Amino acid sequence: MRTRQLLIPLVPLALGACSSAPDRPALSAINETLDAFHHAAAHADEEAYFDLIATDGVFLGTDATERWPKQEFRRWAEPFFERDSAWTYKPIERHIGVNRARDTAWFDEVVRNENYGDLRGSGALILTPAGWKITQYNLMFPIPNDIAQKVVQMVRESLQEE
């Protein structure tokens, strides 16, 4: 968490001319939404977790077949939320941008998982009367360039076996 707190003051400078720099309350609210999203999964709070996803939100998982509109994702995830923890991704680093109207935001973050190590999450949020809601979350494994060809070959072989 310490890394993210150090990055927050730098975000407005990094956004420059491409968007309006988010004011501190907006940036804080967006960070709180994303933190609450991860916290709800870690504590198997299904209601809180899915309340943070917009009605027409989409979750993109690590497998190429995992493109889930909110309700489909919720049905798939239901057994995981019956445990003490659905899954745990701890935010390590986060970058946020906000449009000029300050009603749409985008982010990328590094999240850490005990089994998978560091992953990258990215996505978009919209400001609603009920607060910021996630319209898309994309979770992926960053693959170092020096092993990318090997990983691509493994994926191809895996698909041929199916």
Q: What is the pLDDT of residues 9-46, one digit of tens each?
A: 334 334 333 455 668 889 999 999 999 999 999 999 99
Class of domain 2-161: alpha beta
CA–CA separation, 89 vs 111, rounded Å? 5
pLDDT at 159: 87
- Rg of the chain taking only CA atoms, in angstroms: 17
DSSP-assigned beta bridge partners for residue 117: 113
User: Which is nearest to 53 in space by CA: 141, 139, 124?
Assistant: 124
pLDDT at 20: 55
User: Which is nearest to 119 in space by CA: 129, 108, 127, 128?
Assistant: 108
Place 158 in a pLDDT band, splitting at 50, 70 and 90: confident
**Number of neighbours of residue 157 by Cβ within 10 angstroms:** 9
CA geometry: angle 79, 80, 85, nearest 5 deg: 145
DSSP-assigned beta bridge partners for residue 132: 127
Q: Are strands 117-128 and 104-113 parallel, antiparallel or unpaired?
A: antiparallel
Q: Whole-prediction pTM value?
A: 0.83
- What's the mean pLDDT when you consider all of the chain? 89
Contact yes or no for 78/115 (Cβ under 8 A)? no
Contact yes or no for 70/55 (Cβ under 8 A)? yes
Helices (H), 53-147: 70-77
User: Which is nearest to 87 in space by CA: 72, 101, 76?
Assistant: 76
CA–CA separation, 71 vs 30, rounded Å? 23
